[in-house]
């Protein structure tokens, strides 16, 4: 990359499939000092919007933040200044429930005509879309054959543009459960190098160890039946309390936490009692479950946008009617129960299940959360400080504070009046490098 390159051009480089790797590296390389200023900045830790703020960035971290007039004082003359004008800056968003390696195209074709290698070669496309949607960190909760781990490593190495990824590797479930392939002839079997199915305490402990051996940051268990799989029920427990506890205890030995997929009230309570860190979906949670979550400080990660997409699109994608029927059973109740849990004071972290619906649409759930009981600021906090707390990165991401990663998103609309403006951020920076900039022409990436 020569001399100066407009920020907008830096974005084009990432959008272009033919971008040379050498260019990508030069464009993403953080510069020594950058000052980003804007008319407003959301202080997610305090829950307030501050006027005329600036963030001073050194390499990939925030060096200082505060009123633009103060921060601009005494900065070296060669500092790159990016004035975002009337825009509002938000810390990079965090999605605690993605499946970033895949996206359904057709039910039977996905099963019979796609292999893990097909998923592996396309995963980077979804990683870039997620990043460009302003999600600079995700917790990915399950992928086949450790594709998520390979993707995370490629992003960390700077080979592929994408969000910071914490991954779970194989999501663990029981025979006949949500992790298994159901509804087919018993004579049909798939060759899996790394099976997700683990039954019984010993097999579960071993599966947790295997995941960690190959690089998992988190452990995901399927505590209950699911929607998008062919077992009959939705929400019935699919692991015993002993099995769930084994997963949590084994994960803890290795310094890992457990996220539990759980739609049904009983499975939710079993998983909370077993000590999981978060309940995923939480669709049919009852009052006792809400009380237990508050008591134990368990997080709720409820994918409440999903229902709209599944009902609108999944018949077209060839999903069997019995699956659509299951969605009809949980869709509305999940939203009502989300409102109830939030009102009761259950800790809420943002998680969308992106991958069930298109990657890059991760921000659409913010508006749903406001529709179902959160204030816009609470929705933004769920996707920043709260999500950071759940994933164990509250001292790294989720707010813009000295020493934190310079992960910034900016939008030109008034996001506190209408949080949906965050669905399409106009500026995205991760670790001091600009990945998208439709706001200014003067943001420059200086030469080495």
* Residues making contact with ligand ARG (CB under 6 A): 226-228, 281, 283, 303, 306-307, 310, 327, 330-331, 334, 353, 356
Q: Residue-wise over 103-121: b if at least 16 C-beta within 10 A, else e?
A: bbeebeebeeeeebeebbe
128/146 Cα distance (integer angstroms)? 19
Q: Which tokens in the block code for residue 67? A: 């009123």
In the complex, the smallest distance separating the C-beta of residue 321 from ligand ARG, rounded to whole angstroms, is: 15
In the complex, the smallest distance separating the C-beta of residue 166 from ligand ARG, rounded to whole angstroms, is: 18
In the complex, the smallest distance separating the C-beta of residue 217 from ligand ARG, rounded to whole angstroms, is: 20
434/407 Cα distance (integer angstroms)? 9
In the complex, the smallest distance separating the C-beta of residue 406 from ligand ARG, rounded to whole angstroms, is: 33
In the complex, the smallest distance separating the C-beta of residue 373 from ligand ARG, rounded to whole angstroms, is: 16
**E strands along 29-128, which residues?**
33-43, 48-58, 61-67, 80-83, 88-91, 93-98
Closest residue to ligand ARG in the complex (CB)? 226
Angle ∠(432,435,438) on CA atoms, nearest 5: 115
- 38 vs 284, beta carbon nearer ligand ARG: 284
- 91 vs 226, beta carbon nearer ligand ARG: 226
- 211 vs 238, beta carbon nearer ligand ARG: 238
- 213 vs 332, beta carbon nearer ligand ARG: 332
Q: Which tokens in the block code for residue 419? A: 């949080």
- 267 vs 406, beta carbon nearer ligand ARG: 267
DSSP class per residue in 114-172:
--HHHHHHHHHHHHHHHHHTTEEEEEE---GGGHHHHHHHHHHTTSS---EEEE--SPB
C-alpha count within 13 angstroms, C-beta hemisphere, residue 118: 11
- 68 vs 219, beta carbon nearer ligand ARG: 219
DSSP letter at 31 equals P
In the complex, the smallest distance separating the C-beta of residue 61 from ligand ARG, rounded to whole angstroms, is: 35
Say if CB 366 and CB 422 are below 8 A apart. yes
In the complex, the smallest distance separating the C-beta of residue 83 from ligand ARG, rounded to whole angstroms, is: 41
Contacts of 59 (CB under 8 A, 6+ apart): 30, 32, 432
- 262 vs 406, beta carbon nearer ligand ARG: 262
Residues in the chain: 448
- 168 vs 429, beta carbon nearer ligand ARG: 168
164/127 Cα distance (integer angstroms)? 9
In the complex, the smallest distance separating the C-beta of residue 173 from ligand ARG, rounded to whole angstroms, is: 11
24/435 Cα distance (integer angstroms)? 10
């Amino acid at each position: 990359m020569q001399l100066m390159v407009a920020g907008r051009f830096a974005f084009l480089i990432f959008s272009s499939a033919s971008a040379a790797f050498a260019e990508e590296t030069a464009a993403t390389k953080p510069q020594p000092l950058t000052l980003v200023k804007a008319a407003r900045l959301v202080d997610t830790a305090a829950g307030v919007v501050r006027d005329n703020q600036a963030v001073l960035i050194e390499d990939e971290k925030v060096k200082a933040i505060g009123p633009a007039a103060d921060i601009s004082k005494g900065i070296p003359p060669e500092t790159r200044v990016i004035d975002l004008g009337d825009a509002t800056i938000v810390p990079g968003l965090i999605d605690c429930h993605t499946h970033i390696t895949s996206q359904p195209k057709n039910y039977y074709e996905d099963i019979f005509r796609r292999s893990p290698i097909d998923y592996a070669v396309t995963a980077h496309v979804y990683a870039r879309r997620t990043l460009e949607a302003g999600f600079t960190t995700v917790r990915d909760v399950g992928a086949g054959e450790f594709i998520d781990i390979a993707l995370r490593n490629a992003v960390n190495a700077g080979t592929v543009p994408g969000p910071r990824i914490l991954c779970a590797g194989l999501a663990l479930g029981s025979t006949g459960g949500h992790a298994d392939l159901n509804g087919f002839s018993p004579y049909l079997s798939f060759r899996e190098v790394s099976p997700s199915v683990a039954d019984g305490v010993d097999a579960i402990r071993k599966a947790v160890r295997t995941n960690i051996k190959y690089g998992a940051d988190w452990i995901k268990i399927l505590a209950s039946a699911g929607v998008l799989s062919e077992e009959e029920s939705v929400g019935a427990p699919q692991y015993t309390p002993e099995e769930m506890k084994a997963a949590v205890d084994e994960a803890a030995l290795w310094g890992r936490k457990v996220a539990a997929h759980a739609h049904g009230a009983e499975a939710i309570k079993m998983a909370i009692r077993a000590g999981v860190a978060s309940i995923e979906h939480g669709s049919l949670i009852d009052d006792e479950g809400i009380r237990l979550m508050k008591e134990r400080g368990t997080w709720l990660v409820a994918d409440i946008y999903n229902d709209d997409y599944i009902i609108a699109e999944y018949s077209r994608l060839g999903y069997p009617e019995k699956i659509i029927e299951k969605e009809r059973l949980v869709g509305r109740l999940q939203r009502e129960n989300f409102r109830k849990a939030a009102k009761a004071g259950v800790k809420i972290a943002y998680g969308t299940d992106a991958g069930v619906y298109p990657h890059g649409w991760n921000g659409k759930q913010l508006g749903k959360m406001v529709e179902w009981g959160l204030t816009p600021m609470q929705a933004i906090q769920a996707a920043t400080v709260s999500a950071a707390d759940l994933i164990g990165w509250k001292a790294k991401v989720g707010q813009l504070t000295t020493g934190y990663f310079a992960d910034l998103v900016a939008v030109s609309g008034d996001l506190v009046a209408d949080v949906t403006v965050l669905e399409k951020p106009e500026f995205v920076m991760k670790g001091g490098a600009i990945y998208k900039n439709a706001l200014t022409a003067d943001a420059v990436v200086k030469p080495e």
